[in-house]
Amino acid sequence: MNQRLSAEQKQFYADNGYLTGLAPIYDEAGVTSLNVGVQELYKLLKPGETPIEIREWHEGCKFLFDICMHPQILDYVEDILGPDFYLWASSFFTKEPNTPDIVAWHQDAYYWPLTPPESCTVWLAFSDSDEGNGAMRVLPGSHKAGLIRHKKTDANDSVLTLECDTGTYREDDEVYLELKAGELSLHDDKIIHGSKGNNSERPRIGFTIRYS
């Protein structure tokens, strides 16, 4: 029997725009299989390509499609979006050890031509993700403001071209979404979020799945 979100968890997501603290989706053996699988995907990349190029590969890769269709994941998403939803995107966000690349503060929905903006993203940890290796950080409750101004980023080490305009957020409200391998977080497409570089000796591998 799959777990369902409690009324308190659903209210927390509605109020804060994210949710963590859920039971692991994959056990130790499952995590090992995930990482064996992703290494096989890396072998399919062309010279010069990076894991960020693995976008929407669930459309032709059963390994990724089965992850996206994991019954427990779908039940969590249904508890957020209701029973009428669809899968439309997936991608990897990988930070190798000792890499300075950041993700500037932004809102996912600003990049997506979806109306109305109402997506739930699952961030599945293939490896431990914490403050030390560049875990995602969010500004709780920022999704309630709707879409806000973005500008071209001035950061040379940002993997994105746009960032939230200065003065539209308070960085000191940040919360790190720390996950163990096999765990996941959920976040609203309008929450302001980003991440710092990976200053550790450990990789940080996350797989995002988008549902609307």
Banded model confidence at residue 184, pLDDT cuts 50, 70, 90: very high
Percent of the chain exceeding pLDDT 90 equals 83
Report pLDDT digits (tens) over 149-165: 899 987 777 888 888 98
What six digits make up the tokens of 206? 């996350």
Query: Does residue 193 surpass a pLDDT of 90?
Result: yes
pLDDT score at 114: 87
Q: Give yes or no for a contact between 128 and 181, defined as CB atoms under 8 angstroms apart.
A: yes
pLDDT score at 25: 97
Q: Is the dihedral of CA 89, 204, 110, 10 positive or negative?
A: positive
pTM metric for this prediction? 0.95
Give the end-to-end CA distance of the chain in Å, rounded to a whole number: 24
Banded model confidence at residue 171, pLDDT cuts 50, 70, 90: confident
pLDDT score at 159: 82
pLDDT score at 98: 96
Instruction: For residue 77, give the H/E element and its range.
Output: helix 71-81
Classify residue 83 by its DSSP letter: S
Q: What is the DSSP string of 35-75?
A: HHHHHHHHTTSPTT--GGG-BSGGGT-HHHHHHHT-HHHHH
Q: What is the DSSP string of 103-134?
A: EEEE-GGGT---SS---EEEEEESS-B-GGGT
pLDDT score at 212: 97
Identity of the amino acid at 102: I
| Residues counted in the chain | 212
pLDDT score at 156: 72
Q: What is the DSSP string of 6-42?
A: -HHHHHHHHHHSEE--PPPSS-HHHHHHHHHHHHHHH
Banded model confidence at residue 113, pLDDT cuts 50, 70, 90: confident
Torsion over CA of 76, 80, 85 and 86, rounded to 10 degrees?
A: -60
Query: Does residue 190 surpass a pLDDT of 90?
Result: yes
Q: Give yes or no for a contact between 165 and 157, defined as CB atoms under 8 angstroms apart.
A: no
Alpha-carbon distance of 166 to 90, in angstroms, equals 29
